Amino acid sequence: MANKFDIQVRAENKYAVLETAGYLNDALGEDLSKKAQELIQKGYTQLVINLEQTALINSIGISILIEIIEALDERDGTLNFCGLSATQERTFRMMAIAKYAGIFPDEKTAIANF
Amino acid sequence: MANKFDIQVRAENKYAVLETAGYLNDALGEDLSKKAQELIQKGYTQLVINLEQTALINSIGISILIEIIEALDERDGTLNFCGLSATQERTFRMMAIAKYAGIFPDEKTAIANF
Amino acid sequence: MANTVLKDQVSLTIPMDRDMELVAAKTGSVLAELNHFNEDQTEEIQLAIIETCINAFEHSQSEDRQVFIKYIVKADELECKITDHGVGFTPEDQHNSIANRQQIHSDMRKRGWGLEITMTLMDEFYIESGENGTTVSFIKRMAS
Amino acid sequence: MANTVLKDQVSLTIPMDRDMELVAAKTGSVLAELNHFNEDQTEEIQLAIIETCINAFEHSQSEDRQVFIKYIVKADELECKITDHGVGFTPEDQHNSIANRQQIHSDMRKRGWGLEITMTLMDEFYIESGENGTTVSFIKRMAS
Ligand SMILES: Nc1ncnc2c1ncn2[C@@H]1O[C@H](COP(=O)(O)OP(=O)(O)O)[C@@H](O)[C@H]1O
Ligand SMILES: Nc1ncnc2c1ncn2[C@@H]1O[C@H](COP(=O)(O)OP(=O)(O)O)[C@@H](O)[C@H]1O
């Protein structure tokens, strides 16, 4: 369970999905950031981060998510989240992330709404 | 997760299945024992106890399982277990339960082997 | 340790080490579940514990490198008291942690969220901080 | 509490109260998982903790009604030391607990299993018991 370092990347034609598993702390966050930057370098500007398998996120993990949003903003890209728990969504709204990134119930909706 | 008091009973023609969920301690064990005694009173002598949703059992819980085996023995009945973890099976063998009750991987096999 | 009966109190001491906040959070989550808190509330309690422990790890500069957690279980609430023997802080330190950050969107700052998240998710929240260290306490009540 | 750095030690105190052994077991399971023990071994550690705590609850007659658990995490092993301030016991008490039971099948006794289960599931096992109480210690090593 906790802290299984695990990020799945599925790069499609126009968008890419990053799926995390386990506790999203600084370590998993930096791993995620690296994978997101690689996709952005390759020209991807539409990213989905699926957090369904991530039960716990700390605020350092969230700060890294904000860096990904900023990196995409600089290229007029979009980040859509999906698979958030009610509490995660509440925290994301509190931290104004919901204003600069999309929040969707599932991957399909997140992809359909770029 | 832990300690959700929950026992499902499925009584068929010739046998009945008792399925536990959560920590099998004295409390859940006594609840299980009561339900098993009711079935035995009704004439059931072939019981399956499915422990798939029970991750943890303590030795008081196991002692209650032994009482159920003894109650069935007195009526020439049979108790078959299924859904045990490797460690649970190891403990059951150590405690000689495996000599007086069946241990099977799944419910179907447990039912087929009365 | 006094020889009194502390029937509803659990105490945990963790080192200030990688992922140890998860140990504190899980202990809280088992107690919350045994106390019949729902899943959302159990997650909120875990997050509050994680943020408070990480703050002690990051900011306390404590020499013993330990965090002391007390969990007090009552009929319909769970209280946590999280203590470090570090340098302490003032509301001003807390304010600076928010003001001194650069960001693209002024309303989406990256750090300085730990205390605010904890305060928002819990029903009561207290800080006692001085030169002998910091105790952050919070209470989560069961949703009625 | 000494002011030494106990980098790899977690301490937990639980009251002798219903289901509190689960809190001790879960703390052990998070530490085992963080230390990359596999699922079976993590379950074994939990069972050993549960049995030892229940023994302290049932048999120690301790006045403070508390159990003190130390978890010591090393590179490829986890050690637990479980202490109560109760009346203690001797090998003879332990033997009597096994001998004095009635059962239908002589080889399927109902009680007197806690210590034996713990001993079998763990790699090392020690009992220190006297009039000031009991400490049961065990070590689980990671399967190579
Ligand atoms: N246990 C602590 N010991 C010392 N200072 C603390 C402690 N907890 C919080 N602080 C101070 O409060 C500030 C705000 O904390 P927080 O809201 O969690 O944001 P962040 O950790 O991102 O700075 C910290 O930057 C620090 O100055
Ligand atoms: N912490 C303890 N304090 C006092 N006596 C104990 C303690 N742990 C074990 N014992 C003694 O050892 C005996 C055997 O324990 P155990 O193997 O767990 O079986 P059971 O609990 O079913 O009797 C107990 O009956 C008790 O006499």
Instruction: Compute CA distances A48 → A66, A72, A100, whole Å.
Output: 14, 12, 13
Q: How confident is the model at residue C3 (pLDDT cuts 50, 70, 90)?
A: very low
For C57-90, the pLDDT digits (tens) are 999 999 999 999 999 999 899 999 999 999 999 9
Pure H helices in D1-144: 20-34, 39-59, 91-99, 114-121
Question: Among the atoms of ligand 2, which is closest to the Cα of residue D51?
Answer: 18
Instruction: Compute CA distances C62 → A98, C48, C50, D6, whole Å.
Output: 36, 20, 18, 13
Q: In the block, which residue shows the tokens 């990196």?
A: A71
Q: If DSSP states are collapsed to H, E and C, what string results for chain B?
A: CCCCCEEEEEECCCCEEEEEECCECHHHHHHHHHHHHHHHHCCCCEEEEEEEECCCECHHHHHHHHHHHHHHHCCCCEEEEECCCHHHHHHHHHCCHHHHCEEECCHHHHHHCC
User: Chain D interface residues facing chain C, Cβ-Cβ under 8 Å?
Assistant: 1, 3-15, 17, 19-20, 22-23, 26-27, 30-31, 34, 63-66, 85
Which chain D residues are Cβ-neighbours of C20 within 8 angstroms? 10
For ligand 2, atom 11, the nearest C-alpha belongs to D94
Strand order in the sheet with A46-53: A6-11, A16-21, A46-53, A78-82, A102-104
Average pLDDT, stretch D81-85?
98
Chains touching chain D, criterion 3+ CB pairs below 8 Å: A, B, C
Question: Token pair for residue D102?
Answer: 């009635």
> Rounded to the nearest 10 degrees, how much is the dihedral formed by the CA atoms of C40, C8, D5, C20?
-20
What local confidence, expressed as pLDDT, does residue A97 receive? 94
Question: How many domains is chain B built from?
Answer: 1
CB of A56 closer than 8 Å to CB of C46: yes
What local confidence, expressed as pLDDT, does residue D3 receive? 44
| Residue B5 in this model has a pLDDT that exceeds 80 | no
- Give the three-class secondary structure for D129: strand
Question: Token pair for residue A64?
Answer: 């890294």
What interhelical angle do B59-73 and D39-59 show, nearest 10?
Answer: 90
Homologous superfamily of the C8-141 domain (CATH): Histidine kinase-like ATPase, C-terminal domain (3.30.565.10)
**Dihedral sign from CA coordinates of A33, A39, A42, A47:** negative
| Rounded Cα–Cα distance for residues C117 and D57 (Å) | 38
What local confidence, expressed as pLDDT, does residue D2 receive? 45
Residue by residue, DSSP assigns C89-112 as --HHHHHHHHHT---SSTT--SS-
Of D43, D51, D120, the CB nearest to B85: D43
Instruction: Note the ipTM here.
Output: 0.92
List of residues 6+ apart from B108 with CB closer than 8 A: none
Q: How confident is the model at residue D102 (pLDDT cuts 50, 70, 90)?
A: low
| Rounded Cα–Cα distance for residues A57 and D81 (Å) | 32
What local confidence, expressed as pLDDT, does residue B3 receive? 45
| Residue C103 in this model has a pLDDT that exceeds 80 | no
Q: In the block, which residue shows the tokens 């370590």?
A: A27
CA distance C121 to chain A (A): 9
B1: in domain: no
| Residue B62 in this model has a pLDDT that exceeds 50 | yes
For ligand 2, atom 19, the nearest C-alpha belongs to D112
Residue by residue, DSSP assigns D105-121 as STT--SS--HHHHHHHH
The number of beta carbons lying within 10 Å of the beta carbon of residue B40 is: 18
CB of B77 closer than 8 Å to CB of B47: yes
| Rounded Cα–Cα distance for residues C78 and C37 (Å) | 9
What local confidence, expressed as pLDDT, does residue A1 receive? 39
For ligand 2, atom 23, the nearest C-alpha belongs to D112
User: Chain C residue closest to B23 (CA)?
Assistant: C34
- C38 lies within 8 A of chain A by CB: no
DSSP 8-state class, residue C86? S
Q: How far is the CA of B25 from the centre of ligand 2 (A)?
A: 17
Ligand at shortest distance from the CA of D62: 2
Which chain B residues are Cβ-neighbours of C30 within 8 angstroms? 2
B and A touch with 3+ CB pairs <8 Å, answer no
Q: Which residue has the higher pLDDT, A113 or B2?
A: A113
**Which of D29, D41, D42, D105 is the mutation pick for testing B, counting most B CBs within 10 A?**
D105
| Rounded Cα–Cα distance for residues D37 and D139 (Å) | 13
CATH of the domain at A102: 3.30.750.24
Chains touching chain B, criterion 3+ CB pairs below 8 Å: C, D
A1: in domain: no
What local confidence, expressed as pLDDT, does residue D1 receive? 43
Question: Among the atoms of ligand 2, which is closest to the Cα of residue D93?
Answer: 27
Q: How confident is the model at residue D87 (pLDDT cuts 50, 70, 90)?
A: very high
For C28-38, the pLDDT digits (tens) are 999 999 999 99
Query: Pairing between strand C77-84 and C133-141?
Result: antiparallel
- Give the three-class secondary structure for A75: coil
- D33 lies within 8 A of chain B by CB: no
| Rounded Cα–Cα distance for residues C31 and D14 (Å) | 11
A43: in domain: yes
User: Chain A residue closest to D38 (CA)?
Assistant: A1
CB of C124 closer than 8 Å to CB of C139: yes
What local confidence, expressed as pLDDT, does residue B30 receive? 95
* Structural domain range at position B60: 6-112
Residues 72-91 of A with CB under 8 A from C: 73, 85-87, 90-91
- B3 lies within 8 A of chain C by CB: yes
Q: How far is the CA of D118 from the centre of ligand 2 (A)?
A: 12
Listed residue (B37, B47, B1) closest to B21, CA to CA: B1
What local confidence, expressed as pLDDT, does residue D143 receive? 78
What local confidence, expressed as pLDDT, does residue B46 receive? 97
For B86-109, the pLDDT digits (tens) are 999 999 999 999 999 999 999 999
User: Chain A residue closest to C109 (CA)?
Assistant: A95
Ordered by start, the domain boundaries in chain C are 8-141
Interface contact A3-D34, CB threshold 8 A: yes
For A49-92, the pLDDT digits (tens) are 999 999 999 999 999 999 999 999 999 999 999 999 999 999 99
CA distance B104 to chain C (A): 31
- Give the three-class secondary structure for A29: helix
- D33 lies within 8 A of chain A by CB: yes
Average pLDDT, chain D: 91
